[in-house]
Structure 1
Amino acid sequence: MATNVVHLLKLVFLLFFSCLWTRHAAEWIYVTPAQAYNSSVGDTLKPGDTLNSSSFLVSAKGTFALGFFRRIDSTSNESYVGISDMADPNMPFNLYVWFGNRGNPIVKHSGMLTLDNNGTLKIVLQGEDPIVIYTSPTINTVGTLLDTGNFVLKEVDLNGSMKRVLWQSFDYPMDTLLPGMRLGVSHKTGHTWSIISWLTTDIPDQGSFALEWDPKGLELIVKQRGVAYWKSGVLIDNQFENISPDITSMYDFHIVSNEDEEYFYFSNKNQSLMSEWLLTFMGQFKDLRGPDIGRADNCYGYYTNGGCQGWEQPVCRHGGDTFELKSGYYVTRDSLATYNSSLSISDCKALCWSDCSCVAFSSQFGNDTGCRFWTGESEFVSGKSSDFVSINVLSSKPSHRHRDGFILYLDGGE
């Protein structure tokens, strides 16, 4: 009875959490751990093996599944080859940690993932060219989904023993950093390891925020289209300057630095936990099952507390200016739109902030892409009718003077 109550409370919490911030939940077809397990063909692809749209690879302990995941709404029916966390059977939505065809969804036909006899990992499409994920230099290639969430292609001997790792999904992360994943650079190959946010909460195309490791400054950086919005501060004795010790005490941080590569990774001190560091489409950096780590979404460039970075400001913007999300409409204000569907709401925010004539913005399309801007002068009328839209309206707040005489705006955002 007590166990059932605990599971019920966990489910209520997860549903509440997903309403506050939906982690890739809406409009995606949910695949339960039981469905993945019942459709599993094991944890390994061998030469000639194929996964169809209804079968999965499931890691040895059932913590991750690899297969096709579908997104459906009124305008699209898209599918992706991906890896999802399946560790918690009470999670009411899938937690995608990698897509093999990010930015290139399958829209017309169902596909098949195959590791062909030449060692090429590809998505085969009916009547279309395949989507090649990796081409192996050897035919003795097998792919295994590990309980870490890493899908590894390796060269094997005739007896099945591993000779070397050829390719791994951990080298091509999406918006999620798992324990053991790298952030940094390989000087040998020129490859960089970083995570890049989704475009919107439902569109997995590359968004505007990136999390990187600075090997010279020994710090984590969140950038918006190349501009540093937030920094962790230097890592010293397993502690970052701008991250609370209550948070860093949950992890062990590791740095590798040599002539071939420089990178950072983390591990959980409690090995029974699986942390997933996530960078949202608005720039929120958090542990999905834990606290916020950094809030680049609260950084406007005019104050530097909490790890926020300063950058050159338009002459019309001042400390205390922010955008507030409101429901309502403008009476006579002029507006203009950009129909670029590769722009996210955070891009709209940055564009409006840099334009002194802009006083409000919203997404242009129903899928939260494109931008609509309001300019000029008139009154905003608030309201809660379902006919009203949500608009981010410029709001000026008084700055707070530091006792030493410096002006510092203290953002009270969540």
Structure 2
Amino acid sequence: MENLLCFYIFSFWIFFLIVKLSLAADTITPARSIRDGEKLVSSSQTFELGFFSPGNSRYSKYLGIWYKKSPETIVWVANRNSPILDPSAVLTVSSNGNLVLLNVTKGIIWSSNISRKVENPVAQLQDTGNLVLVDVIRKNTSESYLWQSFDYPSDTLLPGMKVGWNLKTGVEWYLTSWRSADDPSPGNFTSRLDIHVLPEICIYNGSVKYFCTGPWSGVAFVAAPSYTNFLYNQELAHNQDEIYFSYESYNSPSIMMLKLNPSGTVQRLIWNERNAAWDVVYSAPNVCGVYGKCGANSICILDKGPNCECLKGFKLKSQDNQTWPGKCERSHSSYCKSGDQFIKLDGIKAPDLLQVSVNDNMNLKQCEAECLKNCTCRAYAYSNLTEGSGCLMWFGDLIDISKTLGNFTGQSVYIRVPALGPGTIIIAILKLIAQNFHFFVTVRLCSKSIILLVESKCI
């Protein structure tokens, strides 16, 4: 008798919970679906889910999520490759527990496509903008999500979303641009976390690199602005299960996002409540951010014209052709002879990690000595910017170096150059003296003697 009573109480509790969820404005159950013109609204009234027509498109419909205050800015699309041409389409939860988008003949336009059968499935639009599918009985457990939209990003990274890798399953989380403002199908550009050497975020145009942030500095990526850290907390998390980049707003009511546009530009947007519009806090790439803008062994300097110049120790191969990307070659034939040294470049985005070696057990002095032993070693730096330790060495041509502006993180890199001979050093000193004391200095080397001609300068 007691067992029967417990069974009735439990059954009533499940029935009550399902009825309550079916009436909630943020949930879909097998008993409740939504059609064109209807919406789900998250409990805090932050996000909405419903049907929309993108841009100037009039006939194609899609299922998407957007901020309630900015319904024209879509942050996630379910059926990117399958536009809805049927005005009678419906979003519901199927009998086997999948979230499905059906046409008028019950054909599946899109599905969450989970394989396991669920007894009491419920889909909910959370206050984070995450659409989740759960088993109502296990709703409050740590492994309650059977499926979630955050695992399938579109072109927008919301606070709490991840760009990176699940190291156990091999699943990658990355952004894909829309094809155009009128077409949310996957476009040419993707933004993903490159983990083949040191983690950095790169934007690709197809399979070709378009922009890279440089490695993680401990608080931000080196080619990303550091002044925005008071607005949100950025994190690069790495454990045995996953490695990913994410961010959270310091002020939780703040409405913000990171969006990859059809042109390949990524923008950090924050909602301006007073103007009821989006403010662009950060946009990349700039002129110097475009991958390999100046070619090999050169540096791009944004606040200088022209932007490109060869690194110290290099010269433009053809002086007749000043167009960039140019070809910078060694300006000294004595390269890799005894006495080579390094010059320090501060506040730069380091060369791309193409041909590199990493040794986390070396200090910077050991790194310099190791680099000098190998003629193909062109530069070195810390491999761990967070702790200021380890050794990272570059071999071969140095690609995609740029000078960061004052409000960007940047890093220091030591570039290999031939040692200055004694005559060269004296010439440099004399010219410096001449500039300070208003003389013209002409220096000629005759055999091993130095002839100094000094003329007074009229001022």
TM-score bucket (shorter structure): 0.5 to 0.7
Is residue 216 of structure 2 the alignment partner of residue 235 of structure 1? yes
Q: Alignment partner of 2:144: what SS?
A: strand
Alpha-carbon separation, structure 1, partners of 2:120 and 2:37: 26
* 2:94 paired residue number: 116
* 1:37 paired residue number: none
**Which of the numbers 187, 190, 193 marks the counterpart of 1:207?**
187
**8 Å Cα contact 1:99-1:174 kept in structure 2:** yes
Deviations 1:297-348 (A, max 9, x none): 862633264899xxxxxx9994179xxxxxxxxxxxxxxxxxxxxxxxxxxx
Name the count of aligned residue pairs: 276
**8 Å Cα contact 2:66-2:75 kept in structure 1:** yes
Is residue 89 of structure 2 the alignment partner of residue 98 of structure 1? no
1:295/1:72 CA distance change after superposition, 3 Å: closer
* 2:164 paired residue number: 184
Q: Alignment partner of 2:227: what SS?
A: helix
**8 Å Cα contact 1:43-1:145 kept in structure 2:** yes
Alpha-carbon separation, structure 2, partners of 1:225 and 1:188: 26
Is residue 247 of structure 2 the alignment partner of residue 266 of structure 1? yes
Is residue 41 of structure 2 the alignment partner of residue 58 of structure 1? yes
* 1:299 paired residue number: 290
Give the fraction of aligned pairs with identical amino acids, expressed as a percent: 30
Provide TM-score, normalisation by structure 1.
0.60
Question: What CA RMSD, in Å, does the superposition of the two structures yield over aligned residues?
Answer: 3.3
Alpha-carbon separation, structure 2, partners of 1:409 and 1:66: 42
**8 Å Cα contact 2:76-2:154 kept in structure 1:** yes
**8 Å Cα contact 2:209-2:291 kept in structure 1:** no
Alpha-carbon separation, structure 2, partners of 1:212 and 1:248: 21
Alpha-carbon separation, structure 2, partners of 1:164 and 1:265: 21
Q: Alignment partner of 1:84: what SS?
A: strand
Is residue 59 of structure 2 the alignment partner of residue 77 of structure 1? yes
* 1:398 paired residue number: none
**Which of the numbers 189, 192, 196 marks the counterpart of 2:176?**
196
1:119/1:54 CA distance change after superposition, 3 Å: same
The answer for unaligned runs of 5 or more in structure 2 is 1-22, 271-279, 308-317, 327-400, 404-459
* 2:25 paired residue number: 42
**8 Å Cα contact 2:36-2:87 kept in structure 1:** no
Alpha-carbon separation, structure 2, partners of 1:317 and 1:223: 28
Aligned-pair CA distance for 1:285? 1.0
1:270/1:320 CA distance change after superposition, 3 Å: same
Please give the residue correspondences for 1:9-408 in structure 2 after superposition, counting only pairs within 5 Å: 42-71=25-54, 73=56, 77-86=59-68, 88=69, 91=70, 94-127=72-105, 129-136=107-114, 137=116, 138-157=118-137, 161-162=140-141, 164-215=144-195, 216-289=197-270, 290-295=280-285, 299=290, 301-303=292-294, 305=300, 318-319=323-324
Q: Alignment partner of 1:77: what SS?
A: coil
Deviations 1:387-407 (A, max 9, x none): xxxxxxxxxxxxxxxxxxxxx
Alpha-carbon separation, structure 2, partners of 1:116 and 1:56: 18
**8 Å Cα contact 1:41-1:56 kept in structure 2:** no
> One-letter code of the match for 2:105?
G
Alpha-carbon separation, structure 2, partners of 1:45 and 1:409: 50
Q: Alignment partner of 2:164: what SS?
A: strand
The answer for unaligned runs of 5 or more in structure 1 is 1-39, 309-314, 322-407
Aligned-pair CA distance for 1:94? 1.6
Alpha-carbon separation, structure 2, partners of 1:228 and 1:62: 39
Alpha-carbon separation, structure 2, partners of 1:271 and 1:295: 28
Aligned-pair CA distance for 1:161? 4.4
Q: Which structure's CA Rg is the greater one?
A: 2
Alpha-carbon separation, structure 1, partners of 2:201 and 2:66: 25
> One-letter code of the match for 1:266?
Y
> One-letter code of the match for 1:148?
T
Aligned-pair CA distance for 1:240? 2.1
Provide TM-score, normalisation by structure 2.
0.54
**8 Å Cα contact 1:212-1:221 kept in structure 2:** yes
Aligned-pair CA distance for 1:140? 1.9
Aligned-pair CA distance for 1:231? 1.3
Aligned-pair CA distance for 1:255? 2.3
